[in-house]
Amino acid sequence: MDGLQTSPLKAPVIEIIDLSSKDDSDNEEKRDNSPDDASLQELEDGDDDDHQSLYEDMLEGMLDRSEWDEEPADMCTIEEAFAFRKRLRHVGEDEFIAETIETGRITAKKLCTAFGIKPPSLLDGQPDHKYYPLLGLGITRELSKRVKLPEYNTIDDAVHLLKRSKNIIVLTGAGISTSLGIPDFRSKETGLYSQLEHLGLSDPQEVFDITIFRENPSIFYSVAKDILPSSQKFSPTHAFIKLLQDKGKLLTNFTQNIDNLESHAGILPEKLIQCHGSFATATCVECGYRVKCKEIYNDLKAGRVARCDRCVRTLRQAKPFGIKRKRSMNGVPLSKKKRQSYEDSTDDEEDYDIAVAGVMKPDITFFGEDLPETFHDRLVRHDKDLVDLVLVIGTSLKVSPVSEVSGFLPAETPQIYISREVFPHPQLLQSP
């Protein structure tokens, strides 16, 4: 087929990203701008990055056929869609493309509907190869889904799994701590991100961006008090995880939480991976001096930038007389006017305004920082071959690489997802 030579499906025409990891606000923005607002000329003229973005924008909102205003004239039935998806998993992507597109058995346009993609109107009348990128995205998304194990469906099944399992991975998020008054991050009205509009940030996640922290740590310190646990109390879910440990069933608790409440609940260090670090300790960004977070607790609760005591002592020893006081953000000027209001937030605190003493950064993993090596080592070299049950509790799984753990583990390992909200991933492949 000529079209295959123009845009081969087997070639990596687009690098797929996990659209489910995008914030709800991003999705709302995309829904406000209809996928059909993209022009065919933009798709043809843009570079690879432009193509990726535009096709992903088109794909967003087209993936749930139950919400389509009207069904395309030529689309796969539910039965056909199930058969195509099952065949894809059975033979693999290359053989599947050979059997369908290369043989002319079905058009790419129609095959898109088998993967829940509604062909956009802007491609109406275009050659079939114009649909290849969308089809490629659909196939990649399908293969990334974890197939539901059909034998587990009820509460009794869950109880049976808990009783029989000996090596349980528990993957937890902020939802297990909200009962203690610690906000989660992404709930629309009560989440931390929804409450940060007053900061004037283009994206509330910038609060946890390592570049912005180095540029102006007072932004993070202004909200740290809201996510810092005020006591060592823990929730019933923490107690449940501890119970699994006491019964010899807990393999590993991978927590995305930074409140360190797992430790307070008694989860052993060798059973706990704090994927995003925690408030347990803090480290100077200049000299690497590490302290327990209780030493900067008062600063955190006051929204005051904590400075490194060792840096201060070193500076005083080096210049015992005539120290010139100087406000500094670690030598990096603020680049955005909207952040300037934070620059003088600690002017009244003389002890935190000496020369260029380093800032103390709680040892939580910011966006732009690598996860601890223990995360990868534990998951890949230890847990993957031992796990017999996975519990996912209180997380929307929107932040990688933790969001990828569920799909990385063996497909035959049962997984139970517990959340207050409907979770769209992994989408279930079920017979109609």
What Rg, from alpha-carbon coordinates, does the chain have? 26
| DSSP helix, strand, coil percent of the chain (3-state; round to 5) | 45, 10, 45
Structure-token pair, residue 181? 């008054």
Nearest to 357, CA basis, from 334, 318, 328: 328
For the stretch 156-160, contacts whose Cβ atoms lie closer than 8 Å and that sit 24 or more positions apart, written own/partner, are: 158/416
Fill in the amino acid letter for 214: R
Beta-ladder partners of 284: 360
Structure-token pair, residue 314? 């070193």
Distance CA 306, CA 108 (A): 58
Distance CA 13, CA 8 (A): 8
Q: What are phi and psi of 66, to 5 degrees?
A: -70, -15
Distance CA 255, CA 33 (A): 36
Spatial contact of 253 and 375, defined as CB atoms under 8 Å apart = no
| Residue 238 annotated in active site | no
Q: Between β-strands 360-364 and 277-284, what pairing exists: parallel, antiparallel or unpaired? A: antiparallel
Beta-ladder partners of 96: none
C-alpha distances (whole Å) from 432 to each of 82, 90, 262, 383 are 7, 18, 42, 34
Which residue of the set 276, 376, 382, 425 is catalytic? Answer: 276
Distance CA 51, CA 135 (A): 14
Spatial contact of 143 and 88, defined as CB atoms under 8 Å apart = yes
Counting Cβ atoms within 10 Å, is residue 162 exposed (0-12), middle (13-18) or buried (19+)? middle
Catalytic site residues?
Answer: 276
